[in-house]
Structure 1
Amino acid sequence: MNTYSHPFPPIINNNTQILFLGSFPSIASFEQSFYYAHPRNAFWPILEEIFNIRLETNEAKKTFCLEKGIGLWDVIGSCERSNSSDTNLKNCIPNDFEKLLRDYPNIRALGFTGKKSYDLFRKHYKDLEVERVLLPSTSPAHAAMKREEKAQSYKDFLDKFLTV
């Protein structure tokens, strides 16, 4: 098992109102230096469907998020792992959310894109005052829920907390 540090910075700016939080980048995300890069991950297709937009490049995805008030980051700053599965992540050290939320006070809510990120955040930041919503995982490993149902959960979250 190897130790890894998070390979890229959050996508965030002073207009960010909601922050989607995964656990830790997949191997595919490491290779592409971008969030939710696995070709079968439904995160980007869901956002494209909700906003009726086509996002062809990582730069287009980043620009879209920043313009819409959407931030992306991960709960884990470093960990040990041997594959991309969340169940494989060991000795997890979280990112500094106290500082992040101080630096970006317009963040109204955190949307966790899976149970691992939600549980780790609760473990390390149980007293941090910020709205938290557990969303269904967009990973191809989470096949128990249809993509349409996942998309509706993400749309409801965005409708509630995003005021762009």
Structure 2
Amino acid sequence: MKTEHHPYEPFIPENLEILIVGSFPGKEQTQSTELLNNWFYGAPRNQFWKIIESVFEKELKTREAKQQLFYSLNIGLADVILKAKRTANTNLDQNLDIVEWNDKALKIILLQYPNVCVLCTSKFVEKHFRKLFPYFKNIRSLPSPSPRYATMSLKEKVEAYKKMLAIFDHL
């Protein structure tokens, strides 16, 4: 098993209010140079950007469009894992052997923005984030944008994200 490195730095706007934390990029993003121009949640089947497009009623076809939207909304992105090995040739979190947590970068973000609301993209992420930062309490969990999380339809995920993001006045 080859160790894969996270290809993206955390995305942190100047006035960060919400930090969406995921697990680790899909194998397509860490194993191919063709997709390195892509960005967080860029695995072909991941529904994250489809959900965000529906929530904000915006087309987000480029990395720049995604960054511009999140910058304007003070939403940041980071992942909880920095390096991992895959125990199977899938994007499932359960098949990740964690080599190194992304705790150093996350700690810097939490120290710089102590009032940030952390939204985890799955219970897996929330569990590990809470282990890394047991003192941090402003954490909530979003439905997983993975298409394998089939207990909710895409439409239900969009509604759940809308409801969670509506907590914030400016959204």
Question: Would the TM-score normalized by the shorter structure come out above 0.5?
Answer: yes
Deviates more, 1:29-38 or 1:40-49: 29-38
User: 1: distance between equivalents of 2:80 and 2:65?
Assistant: 24
1:159 to 2:166 alignment = yes
AA aligned opposite 2:65? A
Paired residues of 1:79 and 1:91 also in contact (CA < 8 A): yes
Number of residue equivalences? 162
Structure 1 residues 85-138: Cα deviation after superposition (integer angstroms, max 9, x where no partner): 111111342212221112334x521111112211111122112x2411111111
User: 2: distance between equivalents of 1:62 and 1:155?
Assistant: 19
Q: Paired residue for 1:145? A: 152
1:81 to 2:90 alignment = no
1:120 to 2:128 alignment = yes
Provide the identity percentage: 37
AA aligned opposite 1:100? I
Q: Which runs of 5+ in 1 are unaligned?
A: none
User: 2: distance between equivalents of 1:138 and 1:11?
Assistant: 19
Determine helix, strand or coil for the equivalent of 1:160.
coil
User: 2: distance between equivalents of 1:134 and 1:56?
Assistant: 26
AA aligned opposite 1:13? P
Q: Paired residue for 1:135? A: 142
Determine helix, strand or coil for the equivalent of 2:157.
helix
Paired residues of 2:19 and 2:78 also in contact (CA < 8 A): yes
Paired residues of 1:4 and 1:79 also in contact (CA < 8 A): yes
Q: CA RMSD in A?
A: 1.7
Q: CA deviation at 1:146?
A: 0.8
Paired residues of 2:7 and 2:29 also in contact (CA < 8 A): no
Determine helix, strand or coil for the equivalent of 1:93.
strand
User: 2: distance between equivalents of 1:87 and 1:98?
Assistant: 24
Q: CA deviation at 1:162?
A: 5.5
Paired residues of 1:108 and 1:161 also in contact (CA < 8 A): no
Determine helix, strand or coil for the equivalent of 1:161.
coil
Q: CA deviation at 1:158?
A: 0.9
Structure 1 residues 40-59: Cα deviation after superposition (integer angstroms, max 9, x where no partner): 21111111111111111111
User: 1: distance between equivalents of 2:98 and 2:46?
Assistant: 25
Q: Paired residue for 2:107? A: 98
1:37 to 2:42 alignment = yes
AA aligned opposite 1:102? L
Change (3 A) 1:74 1:116: same
